[in-house]
């Protein structure tokens, strides 16, 4: 039973670290760009969009599709960076412990 108590203590410590990590990710901001920097999308570490900046030269009512594509591309760039930051933070929390394939944290 001593091992069970130790395991429970470790689980509580990991839960505490996870909470800290989630708070930290909420404060983190990453920017994704497209069109050579003409469109920038800013997300927090949780993937929530915080801002969009569009170069005025891209605003053409006759060619909206290009602008739409650039916004999507910038968002995807920022999302990839946010996911990378989350993985780095997760490595810190788990101490490099490998999770079973397909299992992601936070649950």
The domain limits of the chain are 28-90
Check if the beta carbon of residue 40 is closer than 8 Å to that of residue 32. yes
The predicted pLDDT at position 77 comes to 96
Which top CATH class is 28-90?
A: alpha beta
The predicted pLDDT at position 2 comes to 66
Residues of the chain with pLDDT under 70: 1-2, 96-107
The DSSP output letter for 56 is G
pLDDT tens-digit series, residues 34-64? 999 999 999 988 888 999 999 999 999 999 9
Q: Dihedral sign, CA of 22, 81, 73, 43?
A: positive
Q: What is the rounded CA–CA span in Å between residue 61 and residue 63?
A: 6
Edge-to-edge order in the sheet of strand 39-44: 29-34, 39-44, 49-54
The predicted pLDDT at position 6 comes to 80
Specify the pTM.
0.70
């Amino acid at each position: 039973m001593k091992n069970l108590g130790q395991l429970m203590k470790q689980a509580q410590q990991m839960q505490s670290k996870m909470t800290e990590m989630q708070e930290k990710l909420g404060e983190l901001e990453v920017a994704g760009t497209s069109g050579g920097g003409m469109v920038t999308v800013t997300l927090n570490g949780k993937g929530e969009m915080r801002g969009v900046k569009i170069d005025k030269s891209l605003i053409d009512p006759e060619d909206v599709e290009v602008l739409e594509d650039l916004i999507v591309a910038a968002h995807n760039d920022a999302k990839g960076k946010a996911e990378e930051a989350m993985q780095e933070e997760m490595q810190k929390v788990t101490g490099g412990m490998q999770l079973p394939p397909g299992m992601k944290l936070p649950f």
